[in-house]
């Protein structure tokens, strides 16, 4: 894990792509995009149908290992608003066990903004300890943790280009990597990021079950 300080709070960046907030026994994750494979299958595009089970299994293990009590989901947990209904039996069993075991705050994303799931608290935005939570980045002066952009960095190593999911960490904003198994990424050099970054932005790429720290990447 990598320890950072954000709005006077100690946060831990976890190797799976989650943030752990120790003081609140809370995990923060974004963009699982569950049932992405079944969504594409409906449209004749076939990819391995195990994304939900692998993502949820990883999530459950991470929550247990970090002794989490509360879970903040930053949106696009499901790939579309009917995806919860398409979960196969094993995946639904894990998801429903999470609902029973943890206090969950579900922030609507652009993919799952109309989803309905029993026994979950839904929000458009959420705030705790003067930290704001939303799905999409916003230009605000207050501290914000969000997802949506699926940040990644592209590195050239031994003549080869490799792409890795990463956390984006600036003074007033943290953008989480996508947590889902089959989620793609957007290069942090893309203009979509430019309005949220500054010269002191730090990137934390995920590689081989480890987290690295990059400064001066831009």
What local confidence, expressed as pLDDT, does residue 42 receive?
Answer: 63
**CATH T-level fold of 2-211:** Purple Acid Phosphatase; chain A, domain 2 (3.60.21)
Q: What is the pLDDT of residues 133-184, one digit of tens each?
A: 999 998 877 899 999 999 999 987 777 888 899 999 998 999 999 998 777 7
Map out the domains of the chain as residue ranges.
2-211
Q: What is the pLDDT of residues 103-114, one digit of tens each?
A: 999 999 998 999
Q: What is the pLDDT of residues 73-131, one digit of tens each?
A: 999 999 888 889 889 999 999 999 999 999 999 999 998 999 989 889 999 999 999 99
* Strand ranges for 36-136 from DSSP E: 70-73, 103-107, 121-123, 126-128, 131-133
- Residue written as token pair 């932005």: 201
Q: What is the pLDDT of residues 12-54, one digit of tens each?
A: 999 999 999 999 999 999 999 898 755 555 665 556 556 899 9
Separation CA 64–CA 167 (nearest Å): 22
């Amino acid at each position: 894990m990598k320890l950072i300080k954000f709005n006077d709070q100690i946060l831990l960046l976890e190797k799976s792509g989650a943030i752990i907030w120790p003081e609140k026994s809370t995990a923060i994750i974004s963009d699982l995009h569950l049932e992405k494979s079944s969504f594409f299958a409906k449209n004749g595009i076939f990819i391995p149908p195990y994304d939900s089970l692998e993502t949820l299994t990883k999530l459950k293990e991470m929550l247990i290992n970090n002794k989490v009590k509360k879970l903040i989901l930053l949106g696009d947990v499901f790939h579309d608003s009917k995806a919860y209904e398409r979960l196969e039996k094993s995946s639904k069993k894990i998801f429903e066990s999470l609902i029973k075991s943890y206090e969950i705050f579900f922030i609507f994303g652009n993919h799952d903004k109309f989803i309905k799931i029993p026994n979950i608290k839904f929000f458009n935005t959420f705030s705790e300890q003067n930290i704001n939570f939303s799905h999409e980045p916003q230009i605000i002066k207050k501290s914000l943790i969000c997802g949506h952009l699926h940040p990644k960095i592209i590195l050239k190593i031994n003549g080869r280009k490799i792409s890795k999911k990463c956390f984006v960490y600036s003074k007033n904003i943290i953008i989480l990597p996508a947590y889902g198994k089959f989620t793609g990424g957007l290069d942090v050099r893309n203009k979509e990021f430019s309005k949220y970054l500054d010269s002191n932005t730090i990137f934390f790429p995920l590689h081989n079950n480890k987290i690295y720290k990059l400064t001066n990447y831009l």
